[in-house]
Structure 1
Amino acid sequence: MTNVSSPRLQMAAEVGLVLCAFFGTRFALRLLDISYSGPIGTVVALGAIYLLYRYRTGLFSPIGLRTHPGAGPAALSIVLTVAVTILLATVILPYLKTLTGYVPSDAPGRFDYIKGNATALVLSVVGIAWFAAAFGEEVLFRGFLMTRLAVLLGDSFTARSVAVAGQALLFAMLHGSVLANQLFAGLIALAYGIIYFTLAKRSLWPLIVAHAIPDTISFIQMYAAQR
């Protein structure tokens, strides 16, 4: 007799494997005091996802790496996602910082190496903003973790809602130790998850493009401000 639960058990095991690759890498790099454990952990997790899906029919379409069914809705998804990101960054984040009593630190900035360095800017935009953050985070958190959790829970409206909330909570917890930034990241992930299941029609590409645009602008602003 075929075990009807075996596909879900396999999927749960795959989620556990990817999470172990992600958190294990982050933990090891922090023990070794190596910077950028988050982006590197994301890249390692992407490698694990690639190994899991490379021989399957449809390749990576189950985790959203497929074209959007309509050019118009895809463009609208990008515009809406960028607009939501800018709104949260310019209006909501300052309010969250005030609400939580955020005090700016005098410590050196994480991206001070970009100061007046065009080469560092280009490498950071391509390697961090586009690949690790835009592509990597969208594939890992929205494309893989969120969709797999939704399927494991039955892929109903309730299951998808729990999946969106769950990945947003994890995304928030992983974005630094400043409460305002964590809340901001959680709201971003919540909005992206909702757009993925609705307007984006389970295609990650609009979210990847929309994620890359504000991050690229942020790096350029940091470069220009420090020249």
Structure 2
Amino acid sequence: MVSIRTFLNHKIGALLLLALAMGLIYNPLTKFPFTFCVIIAFILLATYAQSQSLDELRFRKLSGADFLRILVCFAALEAVMDFVVQPAINLAFNEPADYSAFAALEGNTGKYLKYLIYMWISAAFGEELLFRAFAFAQLERIIGNRKAVIVVLSAVLFSLPHLYQGYAGLATTFVFGLAFGALFQSFKNIWINIIVHGLIDTLFLTLAYFGYLSFYA
């Protein structure tokens, strides 16, 4: 008889866990940001059920060099995305990404601070845990150690929930997903991803607060 742990480590079990984690994004019982609290709990439980530890999620201690890497990656990624990739995508789709959902942040300090907290929980921590640490581990069980394919597939999964931003936003998020995936493959430390992602979104929300969403147009 196949044990539960053996099944969960089989490619079918891994696919099921990944599908369940993705499906929780759309569950009707919770709302942002609490949806990702549920997803985080599910990932921790599922990972422990598979391997009896959380090691494969890559929660590793940050060194001084890691903080330097974080700053360099944040600055480089922002520069390339803001001044090269996103303008090219906007031109290709003949429209900018639709960030109108964040327009209400302009001048609203309370909402801005609330969104910052929510963002660090759901986008920075939750999305990186789901679309990088957990997705990478499950995809490796499903298709093997095909690193480039895993990065691409995880970027696709990452971009899909951002369809509300339009096709340009979807494409932009996909490229961000490729970058975050490459970052995770390179340093194998989810904290680096979480902090870089959080800094990028903090800048975005800050620009929205000061009324500069047009910067991304």
Normalising by the smaller structure, the TM-score range is 0.7 to 0.9
Higher fraction of helix: 2
What is the DSSP-based 3-state SS (H/G/I as helix, E as strand, rest coil) of the residue aligned with 1:175?
helix
* Number of equivalences: 210
1:64 aligns with 2:58: yes
Correspondence for 2:113: 122
Q: Does 1:203 align with 2:197?
A: no
Change (3 A) 1:12 1:131: farther
The answer to whether the Cα contact below 8 Å between 2:21 and 2:130 also exists between their aligned partners in 1 is: no
- Mark the CA change 1:218 to 1:81 in structure 2 (over 3 Å): closer, same or farther: closer
Specify whether residues 205 and 6 from structure 1 end up closer, same or farther in structure 2 by C-alpha distance, changes over 3 A only.
Answer: same
How many angstroms does 1:10 deviate by? 4.8
Query: 1:79 aligned to 62, 72, 88, which one?
Result: 72
Amino acid corresponding to residue 101 of structure 2 in structure 1? R
Say if 2:172 is the partner of 1:179: no
Instruction: Report the equivalent of 1:23.
Output: 23
Deviation per CA, 1:152-187, whole angstroms, max 9, x where unpaired? 3332xxx12211111111222221241111111111
Change (3 A) 1:35 1:101: farther
Equivalence for 1:109 = 100
Conserved in 1, the CA contact under 8 Å of 2:90 and 2:168? yes
Structure 1 residue 42, shift from structure 2 partner: 3.2
The answer to whether the aligner puts 1:164 opposite 2:154 as a matched pair is no
Corresponding residue to 1:140 among 123, 126, 130: 130
Q: Which moved more, 1:88-97 or 1:52-61?
A: 52-61
Contact 1:42-1:140 within 8 A present in 2 as well: no
Residue 53 (structure 1) shift: 3.8
Q: Matched residues in 2 for 1:88 and 1:122: separation?
A: 25
TM-score (structure 1 length as normaliser): 0.77
Distance 2:67 2:179 in 1: 16
Structure 1 pair 207/25, CA: closer, same or farther in 2 (3 Å)? closer
Q: Which runs of 5+ in 2 are unaligned?
A: 213-217
1:61: how far off?
Answer: 2.3
Change (3 A) 1:42 1:18: farther
Identity over aligned residues, as a percent? Answer: 21
| 1:141 Cα offset (Å) | 0.2
Determine the structure 2 residue equivalent to 1:215: 201
The alpha carbon displacement at 1:213 in A equals 0.8
The reply to whether residue 97 of structure 1 matches residue 90 of structure 2 is yes
Tell me how far apart the structure 1 counterparts of residues 135 and 112 of structure 2 sit (CA, whole Å).
30
